[in-house]
Chains A and B, each alone.
Chain A
Amino acid sequence: MPVPSAFPPPQYTLKPDPEPVMTALVSIRGVSKRYTRGKQTVEVLAKLDLDIASGDFLALMGPSGSGKTTLLNLIGGLDQPSDGEIRVNDKRIDQLSSNALAKWRARHVGFIFQFYNLLPVLTAEANVELPLLLTDLSKAQRKKAVAAALAVVGLSERATHKPNELSGGQQQRVAIARALVADPTLLVCDEPTGDLDRKTADEVLTLLQDLNRNYGKTIIMVTHDAKAAEYATHQLHMDKGALVVSGAAA
């Protein structure tokens, strides 16, 4: 189902992509992140190196405080590293200004959160439309793109419903549609099933897997849940700000 591009070129399509090209999309070199809390400086990430291939579905696992969400925030351009270099699609994002980073996020990253983070006063379609408000698309084009994104997550019938009229799983699907609608380079998911029951979680994870396998979306997912991680193509484990184990999922 072709939809108009939010950021032409390239042309955004939600066509199946059976053989995604596995080249390094995210490149992290010597990245450290330190926070200062009062008089204490806490090092959350320590000289981390990592490559994430284009078309990968990576699960980042590890105990609380291991630095996985911090790493996700750095890759998604929500935060800046204390040291090191982060490249996404060969563009250094660690040196971008706040406004340039905002533009970059709008163009390249789709975010999915544990608690959906939908705007409660907006309908599902208005929530999905939000990223497109930052584009030059006309109202009609935006409407078409929103309809396509909601169709991909199977919520066309719920377009005019507000978040409080939707179940948790449906809200997360709306959040996924919002993450997808501007055709981002990568999807960043922070505990996307953390607030869902097993059955609904499996549905959401299947949807993410489908987006990865059939639409070629690169997905980086932070999770505590080993079962959720099994949906990824690769798993990385972190502890105390460092990568400890990596491997391919089943």
Chain B
Amino acid sequence: MRFLPLVWASLFHKKTRLVLTLLSLTAAFMLFGLLQAVSVLFSSGADFVGANRLITQARVSFTQPLPLALLPRIEAIPGVARVAYSQFFGGIYIDERNFFPQFTVEPERLLDCYPEWKLPADQREAFIRTKTGAIVGRKLVEKYGFKIGDKIPLKSFIFTKKDGTRAWEWEVVGIFDGQDEDWAGRSNLMYLNYGHFDEARQFGQGSAGVYIIRVADPNESERIANDIDRQFENSPDETKTQTEKDWNLSFARQIGDIGLIVTAILGAVFFTILLVTGNTMSQAVRERIPEFAVLKTLGFSDGKVTALVLAEAFALCLIGGLIGMVLAVGAAKVVSGLLNGSPVVVQPVVWLQALATMVALAFAVGIFPALRARRLQIVDALAGR
């Protein structure tokens, strides 16, 4: 502890360089904390705790539709409160840059399953009654200025109409909002009436992409999910039922092996940081060779001088790393919002990984300058040789 002020003061040898190095370390560890938190989220197993909504898709892939004939059999499973079905529409509004998600749904069922969406009663009725009706989320309204009565042309890159065209037109009959800030943030989507869609499409009638199951008791979610999948085992339409959260994450998993991507990014980041910080430490020691010679002259042993340089490296990496991790906690909250409520949390295991990385990084960048300081000959160093 008595050497701490000396180590601390040495860090400020070149203030600008210190700030720049700390910024690099902070940025690196913020990325580390955030990406590791995302990686932990994606690599975690199924979690049914507290899940009040399940998604059932075809076992093979969510791109393979399931027949609507499954609906009554799912509804018959004990504990199922309400079932909706949905088909991803894949429409482009005017220009490809204007892509936003649209789902064809049976209006009543959808709104029963998602009480989080708030829609005036008359607009709800209009959505149920209007075959070409659509409801748009508040965020889309803010972005595109949609209003009730608008006719919105969408060109689907998946579904053609019976007349061979891909141009669909939908009438805005309602504008929905989220029940709270979290749900309001997710309202950048559009629901289309399944009735018109199913009649007008050229292929795939009587099927939907997924079933959305609202369960009566969240504690029963895991059992209900297993019951549904067991129901259709060894049938032509085998299913895979997950919580809504896991299903959302599985979408992101389509990108590829998230863990590998995270490792690759962090590998590149830390290789760069190793060079930046390593160079800083080497330069700091090189410039202070006479000072280390003075310390040795005063009686500091080779071991103490080595320890001082290593302590400096540790202090540098710990300060930058801890600031970065604190920022990562804040960034994780932002990303949580972007991932539709999937909680990206910098968990204790990520903190431990970060601390271990700080220690390893500090050792890697500090050891060679420390050995250089250790080996210096006092007489040569004082003479500037």
A residues with CB within 8 A of B: 73, 76, 78-79, 98-99, 102-103, 105-107, 111, 113, 117, 119-122, 126, 130-131, 133-134, 139, 178
Contact = CB atoms under 8 A, between A and B. Distances in A.
Given A103-B301, A105-B298, A106-B298, A79 B378 contact: yes
A76 B12 CA distance: 31
Contact of B297 (A111, A126, A139): A111
Contacts of A99: 301-303
A130 B295 contact: yes
Q: What's the dominant secondary structure at chain B's contact region?
A: helix
Contact of B298 (A98, A120, A131, A139): A131
Given A79-B378, A79-B379, A126-B5, A121 B10 contact: yes
A119 B291 contact: yes
Interface of B: 2-3, 5-6, 9-10, 12-13, 290-291, 294-304, 378-379, 382
Contacts of A78: 297, 378-379, 382
Instruction: Kindly name the residue among A102, A105, A178 whose own CB sees the greatest number of chain B CB atoms within 10 A.
Output: A102
Given A78-B379, A117-B294, A102 B301 contact: yes
A117 to B, nearest CB: 5
A105 B294 CA distance: 12
Given A73-B379, A126-B5, A102 B294 contact: no
11 contacts: A73-B378, A98-B301, A99-B301, A105-B298, A113-B382, A121-B10, A122-B6, A126-B5, A126-B6, A130-B295, A139-B2
B379 A106 contact: no
Contacts of A178: 298
Contacts of B382: 78, 113, 117
B299 A103 contact: yes
Nearest to A76: B297
A113 B291 CA distance: 12
B299 A106 contact: yes
Contacts of A106: 298-300
B301 A131 contact: no
A105 B13 contact: no
B162 to A, nearest CB: 80
B300 A102 contact: yes
Nearest to B3: A133
| Closest 10 A/B residue pairs (Cβ) | A106-B299, A121-B9, A102-B301, A117-B294, A105-B299, A78-B378, A99-B301, A79-B379, A131-B298, A102-B299
A174 to B, nearest CB: 13
Contacts of B304: 134
B302 A133 contact: no
Contacts of A120: 13
Contacts of B302: 98-99, 102
Nearest to A131: B298
Contacts of B301: 98-99, 102-103
B10 to A, nearest CB: 6
B9 A126 contact: yes
Nearest to A107: B299
Nearest to B383: A69
Given A79-B378, A133-B2, A139-B2, A121 B12 contact: yes
B6 A134 contact: no
A187 B13 CA distance: 29
Nearest to B2: A133
A158 B303 CA distance: 32
A43 to B, nearest CB: 16
Nearest to B11: A121
Nearest to B296: A102
Nearest to A137: B2
Given A106-B299, A126-B5, A178-B298, 13 more contacts: A78-B378, A79-B378, A102-B299, A103-B301, A105-B297, A111-B297, A117-B291, A119-B291, A119-B294, A121-B10, A130-B6, A133-B2, A134-B304
